[in-house]
Amino acid sequence: MIVEPIETATMRRMGGWLGAKGLPSSTSKSMTALDEHSALQEAMASAALIINDEVEQAELELSKGTSPFHKLGRATALFLRATLGFEKEVMEQAAARIAEAEESAAEYLRRAQRDHSTSFQSQIYAPGAQYALCHAEAQLMSAVIAVLNESLTESLRGFYKLRKAFTTLYEINEAEKRYLRAHGKSNAGSKSSSAANSSTTLPSETTSYTGPKEPPSGTLTPTSSDEEDVDLEFVDAEDDLSDDAVPGEYKGHLDLPNMNGLNLQDSDLEKTSTITGAYPADVEADSKGAAYEAEQEIDFRTITSEPIDLFIHSGTGLCFGLLQLLLSMIPPAFGKLLNLFSFRGDREEGLRMLWSATKFKHNVNGAMAGLITLGFHNAAIAFCDIITKDALPEERLRNLLSEMRELYPKSKLWLLEECRVLSRDHKLEHSVKILQNSPQSSLKQIEALAMFETSLSLLYLHRYEECADSFIKCVGLNNWSHAMYYYIAGACNIELYRLHKTTNPTKADEYAAKAEKYLREVPSHTGKKRLMAKQLPFDVFVGRKIIKWDARSKALGCSFVDAVGVSPTTEMTYFWSGFTRMTPDLLQTSLERLAWSEATPSWETEAADEKAILSFLRGVCQRFSGNLELSKSTFSQDVLSRDLPQLKACENPDTWPLPVAHYELSVLHWIQAGKDSGEKAKLQQCSDALSKVENWEAFELDARIGLKIRTARETLKKVTAAQG
């Protein structure tokens, strides 16, 4: 039986969403259907150079072509520079190039819809799907650049573009699933391919699709999908957004921007959310993890050998998977914002799609999916404490990394991932050695990432002098958070000052001078970078610390350096998840840094918040050292014995130890319960402790543990569902 391509109306809907009347025609030479294959092959080969750290060569090769594929490749190269380095000028250049790629893809899509003979005719996707994908990819990149912009208005426009890209990608993905089902080859791993969701599509007046009224998790519901987009306008509005729209359990504690004056003038954008909970309600009890599910899927290369079909399939896996993953990680406090755009993410589905896309690692889509998959696991999930045993598929991750390093040997990005794996294996010295001796990347932005990773590892190794020098080098390589770089460099010199204060006063004075020099730089750099019109959390934190120490210096009549509180390097180590990478000897050194404060004559009269910080950090070191009962006692008796008003009464107080201590207790309960094989009653203790931090008021740097909290709650939901 031959199955005809999906209805042209589907892609006509996409054409509407692209805003057909809003884009001028391009003067670029038109391609024929025969040209497409060679243009795609040429562009993909050139774009692959980006992943191999040959960006300049990639841009040179891509500039030789004018197809949407070439323009998307050039946009991707500049986008990579922009998002790795955050330089304003590069982001502006990237935005312009992405807009060009977006316009080109939109024009070719309209052309394919008007005359099907002008483009490749797929048996799986509607005419022009390859250009719809290019357009969605460009929209995704444009949205990320907009959200990184310091303007709230631009950030909100970015979310709107995310929504449009989401819609397009959803349609392409559903077309593929319909084709597979019609051929009896539905992917078992995909949620939408299950019996319950087998016919789920986006409702539309222009199509004959049937299915449930409510879309699955990770979908949106436009009111009229064939209407053309109307630009966002921002006008005065009297009513604030209702808090009732924010769903779920852990709502986060971010200080949301005031959106009283926001009015989204878009005819197909509903303010009624399709969200039913903060976490997926359809957690499968027998789930073996996204990597396993992707491995069990049909190899799409057995379905089709057409290069354009494979490009669409791998590109959709990359983009839709990434978008689902990113949306699932947005702090729940932004639920109000996501409600406006009526869509949400699904972490498991996103990871499954990304893992599936990595099967095409020889092309740029698969390689990018591999980079994202490795980065997410090595830099995020690996440092979450409450996870199931399948959350980190170690063998698959290491095999993927090995394959990528072999395919793209010149890229320092894969080397960086390898060093993150070494750090997770408690091989910090080896990780630092590799990064310090590695060839220099052609991209300054990748060098900055490597330098930052090296700096953190040196911090965890207590190699303070090298760490300080390394963070100062970051200032010259990266524009993201100079305030934090100077702060950690100053904190390292504080530790060196304390170590030499009694044994070598002359050397101690030198370190004290350096510490004050770097720490005094901090205030002039706070607030330089903003995200959605808000200061970066670490900028707020380090700025307050300097104010606190200044006030202490005046109150105590001592030098600024002597007014610094409990080991600032140990505190930073916690917020950057450094303890999980430490060996027992390194953990013992951290305990010694904490003990220094207790040994000072003034400790008995020290402020309550400083004592809470010390006890908290000691409890964490005890947990990672395996002293679980001692750690639990430290949190219960030495941290949580204090109340919030007591800490708030301190000058420029640190109140974060109280809520985060509840999180640490939940981790201890999880471990002692036997993790995901634990008894329900014992796991309930973990859940109860977690609820306390979930319901806590806003506190400083709560975003740093937000992902850990959400992951913990999702894990508990999954485990209890499996237990029945």
Q: How many helices (H) and strands (E) does the chain have?
A: 28, 2
Q: What does the alpha-carbon distance between residue 517 and residue 521 come to, in Å, rounded to a whole number? A: 7
Q: What does the alpha-carbon distance between residue 117 and residue 546 come to, in Å, rounded to a whole number? A: 66
DSSP 487-547: HHHHHHHHHHHHHHTTT-HHHHHHHHHHHHHHHHHHHHHTTSSEETTEE-HHHHHHHHHHH
Residue 335 has pLDDT above 80, yes or no: no
DSSP 241-288: PPGGG--SS------PPP-TT-----TT--SS-----SS-S---TT--
Q: What does the alpha-carbon distance between residue 360 and residue 383 come to, in Å, rounded to a whole number? A: 28
Return mean pLDDT, the chain: 83
Residue with tokens 């800490």: 647
- Nearest residue to 392 via CA among 383, 401, 404: 383
Name the H helices within 115-151.
Answer: 129-148
278-289 residue pLDDT tens: 333 333 333 467
CA count, 13 A, side-chain hemisphere, 564:
26
> Range with the lowest mean pLDDT among 19-23, 333-337, 346-350, 630-634?
19-23
pLDDT value for 85: 81
Q: Is pLDDT larger for residue 593 or for residue 9? A: 593
Residue with tokens 């400790």: 603
Residue 414 has pLDDT above 60, yes or no: yes
What is the Rg, in whole angstroms, of the alpha carbon atoms belonging to the chain?
26
Q: What does the alpha-carbon distance between residue 68 and residue 129 come to, in Å, rounded to a whole number? A: 12
Burial 535-572, CB ≥16 within 10 A → b, else e: bbbbbbbbbebbebbbebbeeeeeebbbbbbbbbbbbb
pLDDT value for 478: 86
> Range with the lowest mean pLDDT among 1-15, 128-142, 356-370, 549-563?
1-15
Tokens found for residue 47: 């774009």
- Nearest residue to 351 via CA among 326, 330, 332: 326
Tokens found for residue 685: 């203790």
Residue with tokens 């904490």: 594
pLDDT value for 334: 59
Q: What does the alpha-carbon distance between residue 458 and residue 428 come to, in Å, rounded to a whole number? A: 8
Contact 130, 116 (CB under 8 A): no
Q: How many CB atoms lie within 10 A of CB 196?
A: 12
Residue 25 has pLDDT above 60, yes or no: no
Sequence-ordered list of residues with C-beta below 8 angstroms from that of 700, at least 6 positions apart, any chain: 537, 540, 541, 544, 654, 655, 656
Residue 260 has pLDDT above 80, yes or no: no
Contact 330, 60 (CB under 8 A): no
Question: Which amino acid is it at 282?
Answer: D
Sequence-ordered list of residues with C-beta below 8 angstroms from that of 506, at least 6 positions apart, any chain: none
> Range with the lowest mean pLDDT among 182-191, 581-590, 690-699?
182-191
- Nearest residue to 246 via CA among 354, 151, 336, 178: 336
Contact 419, 431 (CB under 8 A): yes
Mean pLDDT, rounded, for 237-254: 37
Give backbone dihedrals phi and psi of 531, rounded to 5 degrees, phi first: -130, 120
Q: What does the alpha-carbon distance between residue 567 and residue 555 come to, in Å, rounded to a whole number? A: 20
Contact 23, 106 (CB under 8 A): yes
Q: How many CB atoms lie within 10 A of CB 5?
A: 18
204 band by pLDDT with thresholds 50, 70 and 90: very low
Q: What does the alpha-carbon distance between residue 33 and residue 64 come to, in Å, rounded to a whole number? A: 19
CA distances from 60 to 37, 49, 170, 616 (A): 20, 11, 33, 54
- Nearest residue to 663 via CA among 687, 699, 633: 687
pTM of the model: 0.83
Local structure of 228: helix, strand or coil: coil
Q: How far is CA 367 from the centre of its chain?
A: 18
Mean pLDDT, rounded, for 566-594: 98
pLDDT value for 34: 72
The pairing of beta strand 534-535 with beta strand 530-531 = antiparallel
Q: What does the alpha-carbon distance between residue 689 and residue 694 come to, in Å, rounded to a whole number? A: 9
712-723 residue pLDDT tens: 999 999 998 888
Residue 664 has pLDDT above 90, yes or no: yes
Q: How many CB atoms lie within 10 A of CB 439?
A: 9
| Residues paired with 530 in a beta bridge | 535
Q: What does the alpha-carbon distance between residue 670 and residue 687 come to, in Å, rounded to a whole number? A: 9
CA distances from 713 to 658, 704, 718 (A): 19, 16, 9
Residue with tokens 């959390």: 537
pLDDT value for 346: 86
Contact 666, 217 (CB under 8 A): no
CA distances from 136 to 82, 127, 316, 640 (A): 19, 15, 9, 49
Q: Is pLDDT larger for residue 404 or for residue 273? A: 404
Residue 211 has pLDDT above 70, yes or no: no
Mean pLDDT, rounded, for 203-221: 32
Question: Which amino acid is it at 689?
Answer: A
Local structure of 383: helix, strand or coil: helix
CA count, 13 A, side-chain hemisphere, 169:
31
Mean pLDDT, rounded, for 566-577: 98
Q: What does the alpha-carbon distance between residue 548 and residue 20 come to, in Å, rounded to a whole number? A: 56
| Residues paired with 531 in a beta bridge | 534
Tokens found for residue 486: 């100077």
> Range with the lowest mean pLDDT among 247-261, 591-605, 660-674?
247-261
pLDDT value for 187: 64
Residue 515 has pLDDT above 90, yes or no: yes
Residue 571 has pLDDT above 90, yes or no: yes
Residue with tokens 């005065």: 236
Terminal C-alpha separation, the chain: 43
Question: Which amino acid is it at 612?
Answer: A
pLDDT value for 608: 98
Return the top range by mean pLDDT from 5-9, 563-567, 677-681.
563-567
Name the H helices within 330-411.
Answer: 335-341, 347-357, 364-379, 394-407
- DSSP, res 723: H
| Residues paired with 534 in a beta bridge | 531
- Nearest residue to 304 via CA among 168, 193, 185: 185
Return the top range by mean pLDDT from 174-188, 245-259, 503-517.
503-517
Residue 581 has pLDDT above 60, yes or no: yes
Q: What does the alpha-carbon distance between residue 529 and residue 535 come to, in Å, rounded to a whole number? A: 7
